[in-house]
């Protein structure tokens, strides 16, 4: 069984597809949503939306908004979706930062 997830910003549809499960940051903490979840309406906090598709988890940064859950449908209206992060660029930035930190530590010891 699946859920239909629709994530909307004022400018566009960010996501509209079936998912197995989500974990959503709300103003009262994180909630997990599986098929046949009880109906709920909640404020969405700034945080990460985790989406499970079969055996794969995806993440999306959300900048606050509202969510409505019911009848295996989830509609999330958000102020904005956080920027997409390129994993290769992030790894390169991490490696450069770690190299610079090692260099800085080495200079302080002299």
Higher-pLDDT residue of 27, 92: 27
The pLDDT tens digits for 49-83 are 999 998 899 999 888 999 999 999 999 999 876 55
Whether the model clears a pTM of 0.85, i.e. scores above it, the answer is no
pLDDT band at 92; cut points 50, 70, 90: confident
Strand 21-26 relative to strand 29-33, pairing? antiparallel
Judged against a pLDDT cut of 90, whether residue 94 lies above it is answered with no
DSSP conformational letter for 92: H
Which domains are delineated in the chain? 3-84 (2.60.15.10)
SS (H, E, C) 25-86: EECCEEEEECCCCCCEEEEEEEEEEEEEECCEEEEEEEEEEEEEEECCEEEEEECCECCCCC
* Token pair 């997409």 in the structure block, residue: 84
The pLDDT tens digits for 6-36 are 999 988 898 999 999 999 999 999 999 999 9
């Amino acid at each position: 069984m699946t859920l239909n997830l629709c994530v909307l910003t004022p400018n566009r549809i960010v996501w509209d597809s079936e998912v197995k499960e989500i974990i959503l940051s709300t103003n009262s903490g994180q909630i997990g949503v599986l098929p046949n979840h009880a109906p709920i309406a909640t404020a969405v906090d700034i945080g990460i939306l985790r989406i499970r598709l079969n055996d794969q988890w995806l993440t999306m940064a959300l900048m606050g908004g509202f969510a409505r859950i019911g009848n295996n449908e989830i509609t999330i209206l958000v102020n904005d979706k956080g920027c997409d992060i390129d994993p290769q660029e992030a790894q390169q930035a991490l490696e450069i930062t770690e190299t610079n930190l090692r260099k800085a530590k080495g200079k302080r010891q002299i």
